[in-house]
Structures are given as structure tokens and as C-alpha cells.
Structure 1
Amino acid sequence: MSLFTKKDFDAFVKKLPGTTFVDQWDSHVAKVGDKAFALLGDDEARIVVKCSEESFEILTALEGIGQAPYFAKRKWVQIGSGAPLSQDEVAHYMIRSYELVAAGLTKKLRTELGITLPGK
């Protein structure tokens, strides 16, 4: 499995409640409640996700991971396919991004989409 391929990216994201896809910004974009939480570059060489402030500082210090263009102010990172993260770690950050974005949705919308978040 490689989350850097559209097939595996889609299969992984489809397991998360309330997700949809759209192609925009030269990327394949995964959304929850119409808000982006992960992007797969059209070249399948990068994944962009939202992360916590602490993770942002740690991840952007690693080779192959940097601030995501146009998203960095909001703590988004761009993970290159050659970054020193395992597929499980990339999956972890995709799930965490999903949770961070879903937490910003209204409780009513989360309920409608079947989303339950840890600690909510």
C-alpha cells in the first residue's frame, strides 16, 4: 500500500465517515463536511495535511517535509513521498488532519455525517 497513489489514498480516505473527493488546486482533495483535510498532488509525489502546532514544528524539521504552500499559516504540511515517514505514520497524520478539520464542523453536521471524534 502507498498512500501516495490515488487508488490507495482514496481507499484509505473512504473508510473515514463523511468524506468526499474533488479535484482542485492541481490536487486530488479529500474533504469532510466540504472542508479539505488532505490533498494528494497530481504528481502523486506529495500529500498535504493539517497538523497540530507541535507536529508542525517537528515535521517541518524533517527532510522531505515542509510548510504547505498557501496553507502554512494554518499549520499544514507537505509530505513528500521520499520523506522519512512510514506509511503508518503518514496514515496517522491523515487521520489526525481529518479529526482536526472535523472538530471545526458543527456538532449537528458531525452527527449527520456519522462522525465521532475522540474526547467529543
Structure 2
Amino acid sequence: MTYEEFNNYCKSLKATTHIIQWGDSHVWKVGGKVFAIGGWEKNLQKPAFTFKTSEQNYYFLSEHQEYRPAPYLASRGMKWIQQFDGSPDEEDNLKYYIKESHRIVSLGLSKKKQRELGLNQE
């Protein structure tokens, strides 16, 4: 996945906003809370994507070669993963994890904020 594809995918998710920060990283938020970061990798040869995960997925992905606990965030006890060496075969998985991160972060918003943004309504 390229950064352009990453940005287009994140933009397609509900109630998202985009900002460039932290060393030219593409930071995506839902309700003002970060759910995905494109960039933020010292080696700029390949794109890197960072996202929040469930505890189970955090430990699962930490065991895979192309993923690692996210710099800065994971060292503070947060369950964030970075895909730093993804192959084209991993794109569907990456989209799943980004969408799941969006869901997890949106569930952490107040119920009022979720209603205002039209999130998690059933």
C-alpha cells in the first residue's frame, strides 16, 4: 500500500480527519483521536503504517516479521502495531486492521460524541 492508497482508504472511513504532523506523517483521527498513522519510520524506503489493535491482535501481530510494536506508543503500554515491511499480499489484512483501529478508537469516544458523528449506531 502506498501513502496515497492509505490516505484514500482512511478518508473512506466514517467521521475521519487528516493532518500532517510528527515529521511529515499522515495522521488520521476519528472524533479527534488518532486511529492510524502513515509514515513515522526512519527508513523511508518502504511505507510504514501504525494502528491501534485489540490485545489479542497486538500479541499475534508482534510475532510476524513485517509487524512490530509501534515505536513510542507500545513502549508506553499502548497496544499499537506498526507494519513496516508489508508486501502487496498484506494489503487486505492492513485494511482490516486499520478499519478495526477506527472502530476501537471510536468506541472510546463518549456516547454523545459517537451520536454526533453517527458512529456505532445500530
What interval of TM-score do these two structures reach, taking the shorter chain for normalisation? Answer: 0.7 to 0.9
The secondary structure found in structure 1 opposite 2:7 is helix
TM-score between the two structures when normalised by the length of structure 1: 0.86
TM-score between the two structures when normalised by the length of structure 2: 0.85
Show CA shifts across 1:81-111 (max 9, x none).
4369621100000011011100000111111
Matches within 5 A, 1:42-57: 43=44, 45-57=47-59
Quickly say closer, same or farther: Cα 1:50–1:32, change in 2 above 3 A. Answer: same
For 2:71 and 2:117, the matched residues in 1 are separated by 29
Q: CA deviation at 1:67?
A: 0.8
Aligned-residue RMSD, C-alpha:
1.9
| Correspondence for 1:64 | 66
User: Which aligned segments of 4 or more residues in structure 1 are displaced greater than 4 angstroms?
Assistant: none
The secondary structure found in structure 1 opposite 2:86 is coil
Query: Which of 104, 119, 122 in structure 2 is aligned with 1:100?
Result: 104
Long gaps (5+) in structure 1: none
For 2:89 and 2:106, the matched residues in 1 are separated by 24
The secondary structure found in structure 2 opposite 1:13 is helix
Question: Is this contact kept in 1: 2:107–2:120, CA < 8 A?
Answer: no
Show CA shifts across 1:50-90 (max 9, x none).
00111111101110211111111110011014369621100
Name the % identity: 37
Question: Is this contact kept in 1: 2:27–2:37, CA < 8 A?
Answer: yes
For 1:82 and 1:104, the matched residues in 2 are separated by 28
For 1:13 and 1:34, the matched residues in 2 are separated by 14
| Correspondence for 1:9 | 6
Question: Is this contact kept in 2: 1:62–1:83, CA < 8 A?
Answer: no
Query: Which of 91, 95, 99 in structure 1 is aligned with 2:95?
Result: 91
- How many residue pairs get aligned? The number is 115
- The answer to whether the aligner puts 1:79 opposite 2:83 as a matched pair is yes
| Correspondence for 1:24 | 21
